[in-house]
Amino acid sequence: MAFQEKQVPADASAAQKLMAWVDSRLPVTEAFKRHMSEYYAPKNLNFFYIFGALAIVVLVNQILTGIFLTMNYKPDAAKAFESVEYIMREVPWGWMIRYMHSTGASMFFVVVYMHMFRGLIYGSYRKPRELIWIFGCAIFLCLMGEAFFGYLLPWGQMSYWGAQVIVNLFSAIPFIGPDLSLWLRGDYVVGDATLNRFFAFHVIAIPLVLVGLVAAHILALHEVGSNNPDGVEIKENLDANGHPVDGIPFHPFYSVHDVMYLGGFLLIFASIVFFAPEMGGYFLEANNFIPANPFQTPPHIAPVWYFTPFYSMLRATTSNFLLPLWIFLAVILGMFAKTTKDIKIKGVCAAIALVLAGGFFLFDAKFWGVVIMGGSVVIMFFLPWLDNSPVKSIRYRPQFHKYIYGVFVVSFVILGYLGIQPPSPVFEKISQVCTIYYLGFFLAMPFWSKLGTFKPVPTRVTFKSH
């Protein structure tokens, strides 16, 4: 097709002529209409739907503050800690930039956890939004990697020893583990080579992947449309103009709505930055204000709070936990075998149970701890195919489903709390119970998700004007 210049009236303003010139070469206005002013979202979205927009704001904050921090940071084991102190004490407003970045890291996980929780309770991972959920889980994995690699950069005591512990976990992987951990460190111990590698991953590699995944996540969302608290597909009820009767344009209705909540979020964010940037040691640990010392191990090593639920699962996997864990997994496999008439599937379930039994004898608890810690994240990718409920939203599920979700949230919070505490026999048992429940929530979901009496789902969204 031949190039055509977009026409404007003769009396058009200079801004309109400029916009027409740009639109002829790059469809900015068309993109704005498709993704903002003519993107119809359900009119009954509630408070839980603000966290996706807040996540984008925090991502922008992390990128901008990260750029300014790299201007003065030195990825050198001999100078890294000093460069952070220089930023805090000598660079104009450097302390604020550093605290905005460290607070932003924690707030990123706050809004992402809330965003994922909303998707969990309202079934936003169900058809046709499976790909949106998969992109979201990939974003979560990237965030974990980004946070882990950035955790070493201040080169404080907790940064150094935390990275030492986590990297050493990879050595538990059979055959390739030692070489993999050596490659990650770049040396036989965490040192200057490790710092340079982590800096490259944190500043360049993962952010590029993360931004691409966020773009794919949003494009996939706008292709199939947003879910809503009722789980009703608004595109199935269209008006004479082809617009959803239960939908409203994202801009200006939800854009203004999100800006209002953004103001409240920024007040909380600023209060933390200016008055409690360490948040009692949860956002920034006291040990991280001490230079890294390879010859002095802190009495208690723990990751930042947003990693602690998964760290608790790692610590809970001890040698005396392997037998109960195998029994639990064997029961799940037995349930799968019992519900199918296919002999091949029954055989596969039996074979997996035998392999797991052999694996528990062949490999130590450290290996299985790594498997459980990694599997607890990877299993989220399969959620669209684990949920067999006939309805999406928790609003129309049986009452006992709500208790299952509630106990799941409580278990996750308990795991997070115990991951910060020093290990003890009592805490170990509690962590093991919570780990079993966490895994059972997902692995047994094909069975419990379809049980009970479900409420009828309305054909239109339920909405009260306010």
For the annotated binding site, the residues are 101, 115, 202, 217, 222
User: What Rg, from alpha-carbon coordinates, does the chain have?
Assistant: 25
Strand partners, 66: none
Nearest-angstrom CA–CA distance, 86 and 69? 11
Q: Which residues have CB under 8 Å from 436's CB, separation 6+? A: 324, 325, 328
* Positive or negative: CA dihedral 286, 290, 294, 298: negative
Neighbouring residues of 264: CB distance < 8 A, sequence distance ≥ 6: none
Q: Which residues are annotated as part of the binding site for a ubiquinone?
A: 222
Cis peptide before 425 (omega within 30 of 0): no
DSSP 390: S
Which segments are annotated as binding site for heme b?
101, 115, 202, 217
* Contact of 153 with 133, CB cutoff 8 Å: no
Residues forming a β-bridge with 244: 238
DSSP character for 102?
Answer: H
Q: How far apart are CA 116 and CA 444, in angstroms?
A: 20
What is the signed CA dihedral for 211, 214, 215, 217, rounded to 10 degrees?
160
DSSP result, 318-370: -GGGHHHHHHHHHHHHHHHHHT---HHHHHHHHHHHHHHHHHHHHS-HHHHHH
For 379, the token pair is 């299993």
Closest by CA to 107, choosing from 304, 381, 371, is 304
Give the whole-angstrom CA distance, residue 51 versus residue 111: 5
CA distances from 231 to 64, 112, 365, 392, 460 (A): 36, 21, 42, 5, 10
Half-sphere exposure (Cβ direction) of 258: Cα atoms closer than 13 Å: 18
Residue 321, token pair as written in the block: 């936990």
Written as six digits, the tokens of 7 are: 């026409």
